[in-house]
Amino acid sequence: MKIKAGIIGATGYAGAELVRILLTHPEVEIAAISSVSFEGQKLSDVYPSYQTLCDMECKSQDEAVAKSDVIFAALPHGLSQELAAQCDKAGKVFIDLGADFRLESEEEYQEWYGGKFLDKELHQKAVYGLPELFRENIRGKKIIANPGCYTTGAPLALAPAVKNGLVSTEGIIVDSKSGVTGAGRKPSQGSHYPELNEGFHAYKAASHRHTPEIEQTLSILSGKKVKITFVPHLLPVNRGIISTCYAHINEGVTKEQIRKAYEEFYQDEFFVRLLPDGANADIHHIKYSNFCDVSIHIDERTNTLIAVSAIDNMVKGAAGQAIQNMNIIFGLDEKTGLVIVPPAF
């Protein structure tokens, strides 16, 4: 019997991407979709590319929960906690693509998102779903905080070096560039075509909400509190995030040691592709896929590790990773439904 999936927020970019991937997942049936903005309308009316492929009508959240074994919530922050409680009470798996369960510290959640933990016990049940780093924590759990886009790409670039103590955890810089789909489907001046096209700029420098999430992951890996400088930029492209991360190499650590650490760390990870020396991670090569490409470079003049990752922010940075988490929870091969070949051109 197939897993019945419900998608809440199905008409947003991440929700629509969940539909796109799940339609070809051999072990899943989309049982219901929900959208407050388009309730009663067909998804194919909102996204004509889904014509004849998904003509499902957007229903209420309650109906989606009732019909499903797993609920994917693609909602803005602040809207998932009550829904998670409803799913928990009903014994359903809840995978949150929003930020409500990502931070372990309520104080940090209040500082960066202006909200509170409505049910502290519920937050204790939630686990952070970055499979390549926390796979064993995910197995058997029912509330998953699906990491965001920047918070997937940057930690995967740095994880082997930080975990193995090869770099200093002080002075780490994360410089990321994202496609405009990361801003969501709702139009704004910043994502308006004349404002965006032929431009390129930083935004929310040293104040982006993903900062504490990246720090939380790196702190867990290193075993001590890590603070970073994080600066995101907006690229005039639809998809993709490239993160260039800088860290000072610890005394006595060689280039060969770093390369070996990365090779061993990712040798069994299908979705992380460690590129050969001299190659550069490129968002062109991961488009529409769940892959994270990582390239590592050493600046011998300044003794600096430059670790670069490239992901599709809508797949590995959102929907694909959520499905990868679902596969783990339901005992499926992680690759199921996710072996999507990036286009060559």
Low-confidence ranges of the chain (pLDDT < 70): none
pTM of the model: 0.96
Domains of the chain: 3-147+316-329 (3.40.50.720), 150-312 (3.30.360.10)
Backbone phi, psi, residue 127, to 5°? -125, 150
Decide: 198 and 168 in contact? Cβ < 8 Å.
no
pLDDT for 195 equals 81
Decide: 147 and 321 in contact? Cβ < 8 Å.
yes
Report the relative pairing of strands 70-73 and 58-59 from DSSP bridges. unpaired
Between CA 237 and CA 73 the distance in angstroms is 25
Between CA 60 and CA 165 the distance in angstroms is 49
pLDDT for 197 equals 86
- Which residues have a catalytic role annotated? 149
pLDDT for 160 equals 98
Between CA 344 and CA 75 the distance in angstroms is 32
- What SS3 class is residue 145? strand
